[in-house]
Chain A
Amino acid sequence: MAAPRASLRLVAPVWNGGTSGIRGLSRAVDPEGSPRKGRTLLRFLADRFYDVEAVREYLLQKQVLKVLQKNRSFTYIKERYGPYVAGAYFILKQGGAVKFQDKEWMRPNGRGLSGELWKLREVPVEAVDASGCAINYQGLDNLLALKELQSLSLQCCPHVDDWCLSRLHQLANSLRELSLAGCPRISERGLACLHHLQNLRRLDISDLPAVSNPGLTQILVEEMLPNCEVLGADWAQGLKLGPEEQTRDTASSPIPA
């Protein structure tokens, strides 16, 4: 899933300066903004009519509310069936997969959740695969209650950002494997707070578009977590050939006159 589901869909083309201020908004622009032609008409109308502006704001609010609704906490299930079942239910509802200890992976099948989920009250959850789910900061509450979680995969989750990573320290005792590949909002600042996870043995930070310097970040994360195998960008990515290698290259391939 290359293009992330942007939360602010009614986003204009790239902001091109024009602010009153020395530095402008160039640093404040999120990498998600992409130009769309049809938006110019809507923008034109919204600038001139209050009702169009109100409708657009309402649609924007609705999108935000949709994500919030998906991330609500299931207190009834938590009280009745315990935190493990509540967490599993949350993940399955979002479209992810759950693996209980000594059991097989459970995925949501089309007809609804399997009945045996409700019997697993005492069985801890071992692994969660939440790839592509719309989990955000609030929804992470459900995951953080799974105190024996060993493997967590948050690949390509569009709403997982640096703030969410700062909460993962609560799983420091048990988490062995973490995958953050492809999340559009995670940057090196969020990766800095992964140092709490001292039991981590496998970390996947490949393909993070918001990280400014992937090669350098990889090196720094490896230094931060010495016992962990960090998969990510090749450290040589972004390096240029040195002057000696460059002249050698040009010497070997004769340039036609």
Chain B
Amino acid sequence: MLRRALRLGLGPGLLGRGLGTHREGSTLGKAEGSGGYRGSGVFPVSSHVTFRTRGPGPRWEDSGSLGAGAWDGKVSEIKKKIQSILPGGAWSPLCDTSHLPPEHSDVVIVGGGVLGLSVAYWLKRLEKQQGAIRVLVVERDHTYSQASTVLSVGGIRQQFSLPENIQLSLFSVEFLRNINEYLAVVDDPPLDLQFNPSGYLFLASEEGATIMENNVKVQRQEGAKVCLMSPEQLQKKFPWINTEGVALASYGLENEGWFDPWCLLQGLRRKVQSMGVLFCHGEVTRFVSSSNHMETTSGEKVTLRRIHEVHVKVDRSQEYQPVECAIVVIAAGAWSGQIAELAGIGKGPPGTLQGTRLPVEPRKRYVYLWHCPQGPGLEAPLVADPSGAYFRREGLGNNYLGGYSPTEEEEPDPGNLEVDHDFFQEKVWPHLARRVPAFETLKVRRAWAGYYDYNTFDQNGVVGPHPLVVNMYFATGFSGHGLQQAPAVGRAVAEVMLEGRFQTIDLSPFLFSRFYLGEKAQEHCII
């Protein structure tokens, strides 16, 4: 009877005490070290750890023959252990598992940047009953040293060409404006985003002028406050600009500017923790899923997959924890492509839906900070040249931040975040100096590099469910404008997860299926 109970219990999901952290590649049964498993079917209070052995059937034979005296000893042992676990006792676990994530979670969000936290926030905010959904955010690096969020320039604009992008940005700016109502935590000081409402100034040459006019029309329709300026008006308003080659300029008057992304991240983290979201410092190494072979109404064979477990590996260790989950959200930024491959997305014959990969890859971008004593004053917006170079004012001391997106051929190697200073000399400075003559004399103070989660298909985000992996959702691939759309995208993904469809902003053009169908949602105003 004992053996039967044990064998029934030895399956996935058993809550038991004892060791049992998982070492990869080790088949060693834990029976010797456990010490607590030879009692009757009394299982103590659940720990974080699943006790799991594979095929130790024969090993339990000896424990079946327990004599009477041995039984008394066992009972007192068990009593002692129960007492130590109960409050007041000295709980000395044989193995501390507090660094591991929980064994079960309803939603696992891979990636703890601004998009992942935004999805977690809206999930907890839109759930029907408080505490209904258990969310776990898995973040590999809790110093965020390589995360795109904190290395970003922090701009927010509504000057896009797609109406969906404009709407996302408008809602996000409203979120940022009322951030202390959305992210208020009782007893914590209000957040100061350090928002500079200075606007974005896009300059267009002759060829781009008609496109810019059309874009501005769409932007105004959606409710953005943008004004078009001729070169003369531009010269009058910003005398430090050289308007040579500029045919038209569009200037955002309200709700555009730049802010501190670190503050937004910390504010979200704080609020999300207060709402009960669990954080885990680890890396996702494996997805365990099951397949379902089905047929569509037209007779085509389709394999639907469902993810059951996410294996989360602890930093600098071989330990991992299988987290059983109902839904997985990929918000891993520049590394979303790798995570999607782990989940088996893209493993199939090319040209089919199964063989369609997530086309998000990391692209390195440089940001330079320079000092120019005669540079533009307090009124300088974020200026984007038609060549692709951009700059903005930083602080009050005549410091400016800027960069330039390289062409496909000049893309730097994204293996590390080392800065190439020659790139500034050869590529960025000439454009800047041509546009703002005062920038001929400048001195670069600092520089850093960050990743764009670049969507090689159409440089717009991937949002929503995957058509074949039924419980996987994406919130990634925004190619440089993820930070400014994060609050709205988080809400959209939470709506899809909870209600089944987009409710406030319709992001159907950003679904994954467009990669298979070939429908590009191309965004023209990319910096």
Contacts and interface: CB of A to CB of B under 8 A. Distances in A.
Given A28-B263, A30-B191, A163-B197, A22 B143 contact: yes
A20 B257 CA distance: 28
A195 B379 contact: yes
Interface string B405-433: 00000000000000000000000000000
B396 A193 contact: no
A165 B180 contact: no
Interface stretch (A7-15, A82-90, A235-243): A7-15
Interface string A11-35: 1101100011111010111101100
A169 B194 CA distance: 20
A223 B191 CA distance: 31
Interface string B349-379: 0000000000000000000000000000111
Contact of A21 (B257, B266, B379): B266
B254 A166 contact: yes
A224 B378 contact: yes
B198 A60 contact: no
Given A8-B190, A28-B263, A166 B255 contact: yes
Nearest to A220: B378
B195 A163 contact: yes
A221 B211 CA distance: 35
Among B198, B257, B377, B378, chain A packs the most CB atoms within 10 A around the CB of B378
Given A188-B378, A192-B196, A212-B396, A169 B190 contact: no
B253 interface: yes
Contact of B186 (A21, A60, A169, A193): A60
Contacts of A193: 197-199, 379
B253 A8 contact: no
A12 B144 contact: no
A57 interface: yes
A191 B181 contact: no
A151 interface: no
Given A23-B262, A220-B377, A189 B194 contact: yes
A137 interface: yes
A147 interface: no
Contact of B378 (A39, A64, A191, A196): A191
A14 B195 CA distance: 22
Contacts of B262: 21, 23, 27-28
Contacts of A190: 197
Contacts of A10: 186-187
A192 B189 contact: no
Interface residues of B, number: 35
A30 B192 contact: yes
Contacts of A56: 186-187
Among B143, B196, B262, B379, chain A packs the most CB atoms within 10 A around the CB of B379
A30 B502 CA distance: 35
B260 interface: yes
Interface in B249-269: 253-255, 257, 260, 262-263, 266-267
B196 A57 contact: no
A169 B195 contact: no
A13 to B, nearest CB: 9
B378 to A, nearest CB: 4
B197 A165 contact: yes
B187 A28 contact: no
Given A191-B378, A192-B378, A28 B199 contact: no
Given A8-B184, A60-B186, A195 B143 contact: no
A189 B192 contact: no
Contacts of B379: 192-193, 195, 224
B189 A15 contact: yes
Contact of A32 (B181, B190, B270, B378): B190
A187 to B, nearest CB: 8
A195 B236 CA distance: 12
Contacts of A189: 194-198, 257
Contacts of A8: 180, 184, 190
A169 B187 contact: no
Nearest to B256: A166
Interface in B131-162: 142-144
B329 to A, nearest CB: 22
Given A28-B266, A137-B177, A220 B396 contact: yes
Nearest to B262: A23
B189 A162 contact: no
A169 B198 CA distance: 12
Nearest to A24: B266
Contacts of A33: 189-190
Interface string A148-192: 000000000000001101110100000000000000000111111
B197 A195 contact: no
A21 B143 contact: yes
A42 B188 CA distance: 13
A30 B190 contact: yes
A131 interface: no
A39 B186 CA distance: 11
Contacts of B189: 11-12, 14-15, 25, 28-30, 32-33
Given A23-B262, A192-B198, A223 B187 contact: no
B186 A57 contact: yes
Interface in B165-224: 177, 180-181, 184, 186-192, 194-199
A189 B199 CA distance: 11
A230 to B, nearest CB: 12
Contacts of A224: 377-379
Nearest to B180: A8
Nearest to A43: B187
Given A21-B143, A193-B199, A216-B396, A223 B378 contact: yes
A46 interface: yes
A195 B266 CA distance: 32
A60 B377 contact: no
A217 interface: yes
Contacts of B197: 162-163, 165-166, 189-190, 192-193
B267 A46 contact: no
A141 interface: no
Given A28-B267, A169-B253, A213-B396, A39 B187 contact: yes
10 contacts: A21-B143, A28-B189, A30-B192, A32-B190, A39-B187, A53-B186, A60-B184, A163-B177, A169-B254, A192-B196
Interface of A: 7-8, 10-12, 14-15, 19-23, 25, 27-30, 32-33, 39, 42-43, 46, 53, 56-57, 60, 64, 137, 162-163, 165-167, 169, 187-193, 195-196, 212-213, 216-217, 220-221, 223-224
Given A60-B184, A220-B396, 9 more contacts: A7-B180, A19-B270, A162-B196, A163-B195, A166-B197, A166-B257, A192-B378, A193-B197, A224-B378
The 3 A-B residue pairs with the shortest CB-CB distance in the complex, in nearest-first order: A166-B197, A195-B379, A12-B187
